[in-house]
Amino acid sequence: MSKAASTRSSPRSGAALPPAGAGRLVDSLAPLLHEWLPRQRWFAGKGRPITGFSAVAATELMPPDASGPGPGLLHLLVRVEQRSTPDPDAQPVPVAPTDDCYQLLIGVRSALPPRLAAARIGPVHEGPLAGRVVYEALHDPRLADLLLEQLRSPGALGPLRFDRAVEIPAGLAPRLLGAEQSNSSLVYGEKYILKILRRVFPGANPDLELPLALARQGSGRVPSPVAWFEAVGADVGGGAGPQSLTLGVLQPFLRDSEDGWRLALRALADGREFTDEARALGQATAEVHLALAAALPTVSLGPHQTANLAEAMSGRLDATAQAVPALLPYVGGLRTAFDALARSGSAPRESDGAGAGDAPVTRAQRVHGDLHLGQTLRTPDGEWSLIDFEGEPARPLTERRRPQPAVRDVAGMLRSFDYAARTHRPWNPGWAERSRSAFCDGYADATGTDPREDAALLRAYETDKAVYEVLYEARNRPDWLPVPMAAIHRLADHRP
């Protein structure tokens, strides 16, 4: 972290609300949040009834104008309490009995202008904001600009801490991106992009932690964080006590870049191969893995850890099969992938030298954790970058920060090529297979190790990813369920 990224105090117009005031504020907003939150694409608790809200922290970034039409900006950390069982009419899924903490940026006005109608949450009828209208603040350029100003001036405001690594120019016009699912993003002056994490967890978020580590390593494959903000000493429940929470990360905006998903779909539509792009993407992925292994600790997974890994995958398979009956006929065939992984961890290693007969050891390191074509960008000069290191949002943060075999990222990308090919009509499995092979070739070129050589590990991770996809599509996009089910059929019928 540079000297510029200090936490010295800086003059700020807002203030943190005391716990009692924060509680009254959230209580007054509860009727509106009951209706509004489940409609947001980034809300992870769909299908579970909301039973209540509690305030973790509330900060006035701009106090609401008591008498005029000027807006106010409230930063809220709200714990959403939900039942651990889904609604009877909802898609049945395994649900952990936990509450989630969400970051909300709420605009406050006496009346909402027509240009902000789409951002409306609703009128407040009681409490400290009675008679006002609240709305999603990120749609308001004035409030979005205020958020950047906070990042431009390192310092603390109540529980919020704003840090930066470099100077940030003023006067960058904001615009809200509408394509993201689990978070929200603002682009400033087509120069920077601010990713605002919605569902937040105690501890360092990989979306800040890993890009910072890669920046220290000199990697050019990932945009380096320019600024970020956190909540310090927040207690989100669960018995962990007060901790820091990563809330947002500002990075360079790769203007005129295109994500790999759109590039792949265009190649399919044009009847073109994607092998050159896939090979270059494999090299870029390998370079990021090498940099992460150099920047952060790695560990060895012996037979016991490998068996635990296979057991966890098998458990996810059982739970998903109960939630998605279409998976039941394939469980036996799919389980052979996890059984093979468990056996591979204890099988003697062939060697003519010292150590013959020892069980093989798998290296584990920090990885992307949710790598697919949509998490990659290619610049106009053909260079690939990897973005969005948050990992799979449905998994606990402790799991996402755990060292894992790099093959996990490879398996995610192989599944993504299948996804792209399956969205094309007619289905083009040959295109997917050639792209998958080229990706692995590029990865091997950069590391000297072909991920296909560890067949049991790669197949297990690809199977685990396909099972995850089945659950995700069944819950969120039932029309897409045939896409991962095609892979399920292939993986269940696997023959060495």
pLDDT tens column, 48-58? 899 999 999 99
Report how far residue 201's alpha carbon sits from residue 247's, in angstroms, rounded to the nearest whole number: 9
Q: Is the pLDDT of residue 152 over 70?
A: yes
Model confidence, pTM: 0.88
* Residue 454 confidence (pLDDT): 94
Using an 8 Å Cβ cutoff, are 278 and 206 in contact? no
DSSP 201-215: -BB--HHHHHHHHHH
Among 300, 327, 307, CA closest to 404:
300
Of the pLDDT bands very low, low, confident and very high (cuts 50, 70, 90), residue 359 is: low
Q: In this structure, what token pair is assigned to residue 22?
A: 């924060």
Question: Which residue type, as a one-letter code, is found at position 237?
Answer: G
* Residue 3 confidence (pLDDT): 39
Q: Is the pLDDT of residue 354 over 80?
A: no
Q: Is the pLDDT of residue 94 over 80?
A: no
List the beta bridge partners of residue 162. Answer: 155, 229
Q: In this structure, what token pair is assigned to residue 483?
A: 């896409």
Using an 8 Å Cβ cutoff, are 245 and 234 in contact? yes
C-beta contacts of 211-215 below 8 A and 24+ residues apart: 211/249, 211/251, 211/389, 212/1, 213/292, 213/295, 213/296, 213/366, 214/288, 214/291, 214/292, 214/295
DSSP 166: S
Torsion of CA 245, 247, 250, 251, to 10 degrees: 60
Q: In this structure, what token pair is assigned to residue 302?
A: 């012996």
Among 330, 341, 371, CA closest to 488:
330
Q: Which of the two residues, 89 and 156, has the higher pLDDT score? A: 156
* Residue 86 confidence (pLDDT): 46
